[in-house]
Amino acid sequence: MIRIGILGDIGSGKSYVANEFGYPVFNADKEVGQLYKKNKIIYNKLNKALPKYIHSFPIDKKEISNAILKNKNNLKKIIKIVHLEIRKKLNTFLKKNKNKKIVILDIPLLLENKINQKKDVLIFIQSNKVDVYKKLRKRVNFNIKLLNLFKSIQFPLSYKKKKSKFIIKNNFMKKTIKKEIQNILKKII
């Protein structure tokens, strides 16, 4: 099985590109969203760790955002609780797809949390900063402070780019992305 790790800036189109490969995708952000909606154990742990902020189940993402904005250490507490469960979900995903030729890992903190393996094929999604910022501003819960906090726990983009075997220039046009993906798949399969 070839594991492809998708790297890039917040809002660069990592999830979009990951889905365009046509292989099973592990999307960590979606999995976290599911935990907040459906996992009572995670709710109880977060409620115990952050009782001032987390008081409703399913967990409202605004409560999470408020906790993070009030104190950066709250982000570390949330990560400690949530990432353990996400790793379990990733292992389940990998077992379920062990016979697939390729799997795509769309995990924002792939390198930071040492989830990648040496033989993973890392692909960096490069996008125009102005386009990314325009896209991010359209998001319902866009908050520049929150965005900057998340960026502060990530490795620099230059490091991620250097670690990557391939770079996809995302101009947010499906035809271009498909062509770049086909070129990469020809080289790795």
Q: Would you give the DSSP letter of residue 5?
A: E
The closest alpha carbon to 188, from 169, 165, 168, 172, belongs to 165
Alpha carbons within 13 angstroms on the beta-carbon side of residue 121 total 17
C-alpha 39/C-alpha 34 separation (Å) is: 7
C-alpha 29/C-alpha 157 separation (Å) is: 19
The residues facing 36 across adjacent strands are none
C-alpha 116/C-alpha 133 separation (Å) is: 27
Under 8 Å between Cβ of 122 and 164? yes
Per-residue model confidence as pLDDT tens for the chain (189 residues): 999 999 999 889 999 999 999 999 999 999 999 999 999 999 999 999 999 999 999 999 889 999 999 988 999 899 999 999 999 999 999 999 999 999 999 998 899 988 999 999 999 999 988 877 777 777 777 788 888 888 888 899 999 999 999 999 988 788 999 999 999 999 998
Burial zone of 6 (CB within 10 Å; 0-12 exposed, 13-18 middle, 19+ buried): buried
Find where tokens 């016979």 sit: 99
Its CATH architecture, for the domain 1-24+102-189, is: 3-Layer(aba) Sandwich (3.40)
This prediction's pTM: 0.91
The closest alpha carbon to 15, from 123, 166, 90, belongs to 123
The encoded tokens of residue 29 equal 């952000």
Domain ranges of the chain: 1-24+102-189, 29-96
Q: Would you give the DSSP letter of residue 52?
A: T
